[in-house]
Amino acid sequence: MHVISFCDPSAFSASLEAARRRLGVAPGAALVVVSDGAEWVWNIVSDRFREAAGMVDFWHAAEHLHELCEFVREKGSAAEALFGEWRRKLKVYGADCVIRHFASPEAKPRKRSGIRKRLRYFNGHRERMQYRRFRRKGWPIGSGAVEGACKSLIKQRADLSGQRWSPDGALDVLWVRALITDGIHDSYWKGVRDREATVRAAVFAA
């Protein structure tokens, strides 16, 4: 099920909770949340889905690792080689080995402050970067499915040449596209008609 909204994080959080109930996912059921390191996303998880296993998308984590490697070795082949080595280790072993290696006192003194700054991302999301454990459980470690849906469901319709949208107009169109994508377009509108018929019958009977 797709949830599309232009609202603030608090309202979006409530929309996600409503979607969970519509899907029949009971509170306490096993959930996996894959996202980037945005604080507002993890605030929603803490607020609504505390039982969920949180995971930082591997490719977002790799971007931060790439920045770290370029800081340590400067841009160039040496940095790319270092990144290739530690991206593999990050995927296999998780954030712990990255933190231990780059926090080593062997780093040049003038680099240590910058390294500590860049490691804050890994330290702050350490439990969400245990990719070896996640993969053993058969969980996806990337948010590609969500990002792909953003392109196919939203961008391909709402970002065409010459288009101008109001938030409400765009949301109406994208909401219908989501119904079609989720395979519930016909059943949704049948349910709406059934509810309207029930209301009319109740008013007539009164």
Alpha helices in 50-184 (DSSP H): 58-73, 77-93, 95-102, 109-124, 131-136, 144-149, 156-158, 167-181
175 within a domain of the structure (yes/no): yes
Shared-domain flag, residues 117 and 163: no
Shared-domain flag, residues 96 and 131: yes
pLDDT at 108: 73
- What is the count of structural domains for the chain? 2
Tell me how far CA of residue 5 lies from CA of 9, 12, 14, 107, 206, in angstroms.
10, 7, 11, 46, 38
Q: How many residues does the chain have?
A: 206
Is the backbone of residue 4 left (phi > 0), alpha (psi -120 to 50) or beta? Answer: beta
Q: Give 3-state DSSP helix, strand, coil % of the chain, rounded to 5.
A: 70, 5, 25
As beta bridge partners, residue 35 has 56
109 within a domain of the structure (yes/no): yes
Provide the angle, in degrees to the nearest 10, between the axes of the packed helices 77-93 and 58-73.
140
7 within a domain of the structure (yes/no): no
15 within a domain of the structure (yes/no): no
Domain boundary among 105, 136, 167: 136
pLDDT at 20: 79
Question: What residues of the chain score a pLDDT lower than 50?
Answer: none
Domain that residue 102 falls in: 58-136
Shared-domain flag, residues 130 and 71: yes
Shared-domain flag, residues 130 and 197: no
Shared-domain flag, residues 132 and 62: yes
pLDDT at 38: 82
Shared-domain flag, residues 186 and 119: no
37 within a domain of the structure (yes/no): no
pLDDT at 150: 73
Domain boundary among 93, 121, 136: 136
Query: Mind listing the pLDDT tens digit for each residue in 25-81?
Result: 776 677 888 888 788 888 888 888 888 888 999 999 999 999 999 999 989 999 999
Q: Beta-carbon neighbour count of residue 78 at 10 Å?
A: 13
pLDDT at 189: 76
127 within a domain of the structure (yes/no): yes
25 within a domain of the structure (yes/no): no
Tell me how far CA of residue 33 lies from CA of 1, 12, 45, 102, 181, in angstroms.
14, 15, 8, 27, 21
